[in-house]
Structure 1
């Protein structure tokens, strides 16, 4: 196990940590996280409209169209909000104006979507409208690329003084808006040439390019198990695994989630397994590594130290906060506890994948706050599927079975150390 830790620390960690701190990935992470409140709001309306009680569904049926509008304006426009957030974050990382970076990124992204002339069934003209097909999760990869293009052009023009400079007496907000004119002109012209003059559907091309990766991450066994193993390996080495792996995969997870939400909103069955909720609801019961079972086992240990750590960690663990147990036990660089910490999630992610693959449990289609206890959160996030609660309890029992023998051995070791310490103090 020590050789494994050394390999992770020396070979695996440096490139992964470098990726997590890469400027573009940080901007993507921050921009996507900024959309989470809106995603949760949109999820709430899906849950209300699609709650699995026939009497309720019949009651609200006349108002379903209007009640789904908040979903359309939040999750349906997810890439729009993320585009601005990512551009603002990347610009600020270069010490540029965040508002200009966000605005130019948003403009470049919208320029990839050609307005269409629409009419109602009675022939009434609506004028130009933007199709919403790529304004949500399907446009996320385009939003990322146009964000990088827009901010890099802004940085290039600022660095080479290719901007309109106003006198110092002009208010800063006005001056910044004029400084964005030239980079904005360059950015929009480039995207206009690609989308309009050349007639390329950028969003469609990018989705076709990334679709194999999305399918692997969302619906293959390796696509859901490999992130689980990497996250637990990194945590066991003392590195925040979700922070690193999540920075790389969260854009894909978000696309998969938006596809599931849209399917539910359209009265269909969600099809993607590997959303972020797959891990949060069924694998990370009590936090990364499924450590709530470990907290409870510690509470019944003979070791005074482990018993105290268990008592201090169990309440945060119920609400999916597990730093106290990870660093208090510790699990970090501790071969005795690192083994079940890695093996347990591997088993539960495998079982969860099988259950969803064979449609024994509904896929995740609702986002709920991370601090909600696992069974309740699983029920809500699968749009009221009671089988999700059963799966959580099964996985929880697996964590108990996996952790128990290792806790027993660790408890014996810690108890011997405590007795030796007391004996030494008594002799002194």
Structure 2
């Protein structure tokens, strides 16, 4: 019997558990650890609440989780409740699938002014992450700025723009919905350092902006390159740029009919935040693209902003006894190998890149590496105590472990508490989750 510990119960974690199960069948025990009492990581707390079809992938993970040789070990913090060396003494392989839950900082003057948030915090706020439930952003200003040219920036702009009726079927938490109901935002500026041909936004997400009830997207036609140049783009990006061209063609009378404007300000690099205690504007330098890079032109201007959300990427959380690459913001690894018996997958391995499905090949690849290391003798031939050893340690330390069966009770309670038209009302407090699980 082989014993595998996976740290993190998001997509990367469950794809890896699935791969281990397919590799060893009944001859493996997989324990999937999570610091929270609830599974699914990015699916629960990162995917936009109005994208329920994407969240549906959790049904695949549940199928894996319900197998007897895969166990969810929630409410256990690795590095606090149990150390990495202890896990290594219990399990044949320890795999880090912790994702990248922390915001990457811009490192600009004024970044600590009030009402400036990173997207991990802001998205966590409207998605009900316990760490960010008390964020309480002030939405009373007329202008907001979203920094970044990826799908997360689009998610934030869309959530800030929607009417309450447009959240029908979404699992946005009530405290966020109530704040958005009182929002006075009339203009959202999406800042991007480069131009239309360098955006990371996908066609589906861009297309959603054109269907918003009270918001209209605006693109300056001067920012668009000659249309003939679009032919050189890969198909997905070409479709995205086509959306930008359609936004540039929206007549002014259509813009005037909608109370919220979403403006794409491209070739614009933020250089500092302006305000007295609270952000009031973003100072920006106009850029040009040379060899794919944004280069400053020396032209500066200010964009009014009473709220700023920075969507420029994420970093993994360091864990004691695990080598960490500070510059890259992920675990130091060689194609998924960290140290003998220690591996990483997903964003913890690659950094924040790719889609949810990109994590699947990562999981299967690292299981192949474990097989190689077992066959070569790197991991040793003798099996370890695994699950039984952890259970004895958990009992000794009185750890309040939440199992997948407990999670199903939490899920049932959330579904029963849902407001009309919503699939669930998430608990945003860990103690409340645990009470529901019991």
Higher helix share: 1
Q: Greater CA radius of gyration, 1 or 2?
A: 1
Higher strand share: 2
Q: By the TM > 0.5 criterion, same fold? A: no
Larger RCO (CA within 8 A; separation ≥ 6): 2
| TM-score normalised per structure 2 | 0.23
